[in-house]
Chains A and B, each alone.
Chain A
């Protein structure tokens, strides 16, 4: 069966360090992979999208990689700040449009 795993339920890092979150999937061939941020009591907010033919995408302090051979995406936040503390979700879709499948999320805490 299809499965999406995110490296851990919770991740604590020191302010200023690089946070690396992992999204692994099995029995799935996504055309798109997205990362979202979710704060407590709020809906997810879109951060980045990467397509299957792209290896890396950057946006300000964020970087996403996508390795379809390893079936893995890495999400990096450089120079992390306490304001980056949130739950981060990865989502995969086979094609343009709906039918996104979400991972369970990783709760990141950046300690001052």
Chain B
């Protein structure tokens, strides 16, 4: 199993640009989440999904969109990038025992 994969690893955007961060898991997990991690603030939940076709907002959803058309994929869309969205983004998945498996992260810089 590849576990949770994320692409790209690094991305630089200009203010106002849009992009999609990709996340995929091959463990047939029901739950998937997106977090952002900023220095001194820990991981903050952006959006999450409890199954295909079902998504909900987390703590910091503004400026981000998600969809879950399949069990495997959970892309995160930045609609109009802002410097405040400079961060490291982690995707995670889990099933049953609440153990979350995290991807390697995407380091995003918005200029």
* B102 partner residues in chain A, CB cutoff 8 A: 43-45
* B97 partner residues in chain A, CB cutoff 8 A: 49
Q: Identify the B interface with A (CB < 8 A).
A: 4, 31, 33, 35, 40-45, 48, 50, 56, 58-59, 90, 92, 94, 97-105
Out of B58, B101, B103, B105, name the residue touching A46 (CB < 8 Å). Answer: B101
Give A49 to B98 CA distance when docked, in angstroms.
8
* B35 partner residues in chain A, CB cutoff 8 A: 102
Also in contact, A105 and B42, with CB within 8 A (given A97-B31, A98-B31): yes
Nearest CB in chain B: distance from A87 CB, A: 10
Which of under 10, 10 to 19, 20 to 34, or 35 or more describes the interface residues of A? 20 to 34
A34 CB-CB contact with B under 8 Å: yes
A25 CB-CB contact with B under 8 Å: no
Also in contact, A103 and B58, with CB within 8 A (given A45-B102, A96-B98): no
* A100 partner residues in chain B, CB cutoff 8 A: 33, 45, 100
Tell me if A98 and B33 are in contact (CB < 8 A). Answer: yes
Tell me if A46 and B100 are in contact (CB < 8 A). Answer: yes
Nearest CB in chain B: distance from A39 CB, A: 11
Nearest CB in chain B: distance from A62 CB, A: 15
A75 CB-CB contact with B under 8 Å: no
Tell me if A89 and B99 are in contact (CB < 8 A). Answer: no
Interface string of A17-46 (1 = CB under 8 A from B): 000000000000000101010000111111
* B42 partner residues in chain A, CB cutoff 8 A: 4, 89, 102-105
Tell me if B99 and A46 are in contact (CB < 8 A). Answer: yes
Q: Which residue of A lies closest to B99 (CB)?
A: A46
Give 10 A-B contacts (CB < 8 Å), ordered by A residue: A4-B42, A34-B100, A42-B104, A43-B102, A44-B90, A98-B33, A99-B48, A101-B45, A101-B59, A102-B42
Q: Which residue of A lies closest to B103 (CB)?
A: A43
* B4 partner residues in chain A, CB cutoff 8 A: 43
